[in-house]
């Protein structure tokens, strides 16, 4: 290398950042010990900001454009270096390029189920997933609060903290909404907007702007989903007799087990015997079934009736869950035990 080449290499003529990584938030221009000379060219492309740091102090910030570096466009740096009358010699300063483009499709999700006190189902465990978008709104604040002296700062270095902020605020927002988990899907957009508003101040502390927040799915445990599916399949049934006929027909159609058919036949026979007994006694109408007797449906199979005391014992022994269905005379349809007989599970008497 000749003397002229060596002297030329000592000064930087063009300062720029070409990035195609899509996840780099801040890049410090690599000077490799070289100095920046007066009149050097600075190129700041769209979606970038250039920040000058001198001796650990944040100085000037320049937006998109092409600049010839002089005392006119570096007023703060000029003041720090006491260049009151301009300068001609090279100067040392670090140049940080900050991406102000939007970072999109950042995924968030619950690592463990969160517990919500649902208005209809009571305490339930749910998982939630979605995405969000951010932008560096205040480059100087972001550089000072988050990046520090990191010369190559990527999205991955801060995403974990942002996800923690989201997940720590998610349960309270869902709880305050008053929307049952059965209807959450209809309100994803509204809840996403509410969460965006709730989370925005936390992101602003870092110099970030939360550009968008989206809920894609809130899911229930598999056993709860099965119970809800069973409940939905029974809404068209108006009484036990119709339900037994329905299950009997389905059993014959599918070639059900003999024990299932015997149980269904015994139930129908018992009901028939009851009405025949009442007819022999001379009563014109059968007496009403006691209101404290309930039938129970587990896995689509009815049993009972049971007294409330027996149901309480079943709940304590784990044979009856809040998601099993119950029915008694006078009810239009089957309901979840945790909704109809809540006192069996919280220890309170009705």
Q: What is the pLDDT of residues 222-233, one digit of tens each?
A: 777 776 666 666
pTM for the model: 0.61
d(CA 53, CA 92): 9
Does pLDDT of 4 surpass 50?
Answer: no
CB 112 within 8 A of CB 59: no
Instruction: Look up the CATH superfamily of 103-220.
Output: Band 7 domain (3.30.479.30)
Residue found under tokens 């007799």: 241
User: Which DSSP letter does residue 144 get?
Assistant: I
Of 114-118, 235-239, 317-321, minimum mean pLDDT range: 235-239
Interval 115-131: pLDDT, tens: 888 777 788 889 999 99
- Report domain extents, the chain: 3-99, 103-220, 224-346
β-strand 11-15 against 24-28: which pairing, if any?
A: unpaired
The average pLDDT across 304-321 equals 84
- Whether 178 has a pLDDT exceeding 60, the answer reads yes
Q: What is the mean pLDDT of residues 171-188?
A: 86
Residue 26 pLDDT greater than 80, yes or no: yes
The predicted pLDDT at position 208 comes to 97
Confidence band of 210 (pLDDT split at 50, 70, 90) = very high
- The confidence score (pLDDT) of residue 143 equals 93
- Is residue 328 within 8 A of residue 311, CB to CB? The reply is no
Structure tokens at 337: 């035990």
Could you check whether the bond before residue 64 is cis, i.e. omega within 30 degrees of 0?
A: no
Please determine, for residue 350, whether its predicted confidence score (pLDDT) is greater than 50: no
């Amino acid at each position: 290398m000749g003397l002229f080449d060596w002297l030329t290499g000592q000064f930087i003529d063009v300062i720029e950042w070409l990035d195609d990584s899509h996840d780099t938030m801040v890049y410090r221009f690599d000077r490799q010990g070289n100095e920046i000379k007066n009149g050097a060219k600075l190129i700041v492309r769209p979606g970038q900001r250039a920040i000058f740091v001198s001796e650990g102090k944040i100085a000037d910030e320049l937006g998109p454009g092409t600049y010839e570096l002089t005392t006119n466009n570096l007023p703060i740096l000029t003041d720090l270096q006491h260049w009151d009358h301009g300068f001609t010699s090279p100067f040392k300063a670090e140049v940080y390029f900050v991406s102000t483009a939007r970072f999109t499709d950042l995924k968030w999700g619950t690592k463990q189920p969160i517990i919500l006190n649902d208005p209809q189902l009571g305490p339930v465990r749910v998982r939630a997933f979605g995405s969000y978008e951010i932008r560096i709104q205040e480059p100087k604040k972001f550089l000072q609060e988050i990046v520090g002296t990191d010369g190559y700062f990527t999205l991955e270095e801060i995403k974990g903290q942002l996800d923690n902020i989201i997940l720590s605020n998610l349960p309270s927002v869902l709880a305050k909404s008053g929307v049952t988990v059965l209807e959450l899907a209809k309100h994803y957009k509204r809840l996403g907007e509410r969460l965006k508003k709730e989370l925005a101040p936390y992101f602003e502390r870092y110099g970030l702007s939360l550009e968008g927040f989206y809920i894609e799915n809130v899911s229930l445990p598999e056993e709860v989903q099965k119970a809800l599916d069973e409940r939905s399949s029974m809404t068209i049934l108006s009484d036990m007799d119709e339900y037994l006929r329905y299950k009997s027909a389905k059993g014959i159609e599918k070639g059900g087990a003999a024990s299932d058919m015997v149980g269904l036949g015994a139930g129908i026979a018992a009901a028939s015997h009851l009405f025949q007994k009442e007819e022999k006694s001379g009563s014109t109408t059968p007496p009403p079934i006691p209101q404290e007797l309930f039938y129970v449906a587990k896995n689509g199979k009815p049993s009972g009736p049971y007294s409330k005391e027996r149901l309480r014992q079943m709940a304590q022994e784990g044979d009856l869950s809040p998601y099993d269905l119950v029915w008694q005379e006078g009810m239009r349809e089957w309901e979840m035990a945790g909704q109809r007989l809540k006192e069996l599970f919280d220890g309170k008497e009705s």
